[in-house]
Chain A
């Protein structure tokens, strides 16, 4: 057993020594989203919190060059839950060592994207999972990494709309007197 462990350790060391091609690990992560309660037929924003790993930046949703890849959230199609406007934060104008004279509009650290969710009146009350992807393209101070898709998911709790039947004053018998 000890010999196997020693061999494994040596292999690990050898790998660390020869592995010199950098690769992008998890640059952007998503915090667990709160379960937002939304009434049937009403719209409410769902805040999604993301974090860009230290030392990296990603383009904002509105980068300053047509060639740069914007950060964009795409939510999968849902039948009775309408996904409305997605609100992105403004990026920070920053310059980097590789382009000191050029300002890039980027996200670093924590940023929040709000997704407007509106369940139709026909949706049954209960919890629903919504899924999507955050597309981003990360760079550090000296290199860039190919675009990536971060799977995104959040739950919404659909509450019944309050009953209004029979209470409409316009249809009250008193209104026609």
Chain B
């Protein structure tokens, strides 16, 4: 059977393009570039959860429906998480009146007392919930900290960031989740 060489070239070009895109996307994530949520997650309703806060209250994500939410997975042993926290404190103050809420989820083995001590030292002004592996899994697996999700007022995911980024990246995503800005990057 004779094969058209043009088809083979076409197939090879598609494979090469997909490989290039895959490698490029992976490198970008390692480099910590801005990362809107993948096509699988963006626009989907953020998985609801019911977690205990440091104060012992049960808190659901759906409790914040109507607000834009920054959902930050972090841990006391995570250096980059520590850098973000003062920014989050400021951003909560700045955008809170517009219907914005930061929620921290501690993915930590430390005791509640240690987590509370840490957040007190950092001056945290938003709720801290005690994370569970299952909640991380429902968000596609939280394998790296910090991991931050941005949820709009309808409870839909608009962006996700792995690792530490500049403050301006967070501001852009917050505006986007508040319905004030354009998507930071139309990746998909």
Please report A residues at the B interface, Cβ cutoff 8 Å.
6, 9-10, 13-24, 67-69, 96-99, 102, 104, 137, 139-147
Contacts and interface: CB of A to CB of B under 8 A. Distances in A.
Contact of A17 (B18, B35, B78, B143): B18
A139 B75 CA distance: 12
A67 B38 CA distance: 32
Contacts of A21: 29, 140-141, 143-144, 162
A18 B18 contact: no
B155 interface: no
B45 interface: no
A142 B18 contact: no
B163 A69 contact: no
Interface residues of B, number: 40
Contacts of A24: 143-144
A99 B164 CA distance: 11
A69 B79 contact: no
B144 A22 contact: yes
Contacts of A102: 79
Given A13-B15, A144-B144, A20 B76 contact: no
Contact of B162 (A10, A96, A143, A146): A143
Given A17-B21, A21-B162, A67 B77 contact: yes
Contacts of B146: 143
A123 B79 CA distance: 46
